Amino acid sequence: MGDHGNMRCDGHERSVGPATDQLPGTVGADSPTPAEDQNLHPRRVSSFRSRGSSLTERQQRAWDKSWPTYGRLAREADGARPPLDPTAWFGRSAPLILEIGCGTGTSTAAMALQEPDFDVLAVEVYRKGLAQLLSAIDREGIENIRLIRGDALDVLEYLLPSGSLTAARVFFPDPWPKSRHHKRRLLQAGTVALLSDRLRPGGTLHVATDHANYAEHIAEVGDNEPTLRRLELGDPRIPVSVNRPTTKFEGKAHTVGSTINDFVWERL
């Protein structure tokens, strides 16, 4: 998710809205029924791009083995959205990082390994990307990542209380470049205010984008949020790493001359 619709950056699939592939725990083509789709994301303008994809044999094995331990739905089949208990889920009390749109999890896994004293909640819509991250968790023996499948706004509104996060990350969200689609962008003023509320004082919001127009929009909504203050990337007040791994997509963006914009705001 960084609301990724095409493969982006670390293999992120642009998504943050409701899942349009099959619900976790089931096997087969990733296509929900209309009832499932409505249950995941009723009456809300979505910021995802519809796609279907099935898991490879290896990904299905990783899913079957690790999802019951490391994963959960943002919204259960009956519509319930029980609050998270990170201490119980991770088995310890540690500063919490939320990553919206982990995609295939290349950055998520690498940064979690660099920061073993932090716990990471990775939110993604697409099961295929989550399965790839589960494979990395198993392969690398990573213990400080947990996965949530579903709408990031459900996670922010219902699963996390105010002041619960040390940091939030949104890397390469879908820019929805056409003007008529701008309402689908994840990072609107209301979402930024909600993200800020979930940060503890001194916590940070880190956003990265390769799209110039979306960068202007993100900068505007972030700077206009009265509870946030912009920081430079090297500011010592930032409590977590801002060193993202350079991924295949980002390398291609540099090759074609696209500017990568990173923004960091501190919760006042």
> Quick one: 190 exposed, middle or buried, by C-beta within 10 A (0-12, 13-18, 19+)?
exposed
Q: Which residue in the list 3, 154, 174, 210 is annotated as catalytic?
A: 174
Are 149 and 127 in contact by the 8 Å Cβ rule? The answer is: yes
DSSP helix/strand/coil, 265? strand
DSSP helix/strand/coil, 218? helix
CA-based nearest residue to 198, from 171, 226, 163, 231: 163
Q: Which residue has the tokens 């490391």?
A: 70
Neighbours of 258 (CB within 10 A): 15
Q: Which residue has the tokens 């939110």?
A: 123
User: How many whole angstroms separate alpha carbon 62 and alpha carbon 84?
Assistant: 23
The verdict on whether 174 is a catalytic residue reads: yes
User: How many whole angstroms separate alpha carbon 221 and alpha carbon 263?
Assistant: 11
Where does 26-126 have alpha helices with state H? Answer: 34-40, 57-70, 86-90, 106-114
User: How many whole angstroms separate alpha carbon 13 and alpha carbon 173?
Assistant: 9
Inter-CA distances, 63 with 12, 91, 197, 210, 226, Å:
18, 21, 33, 31, 41
Q: What positions carry a catalytic annotation?
A: 174
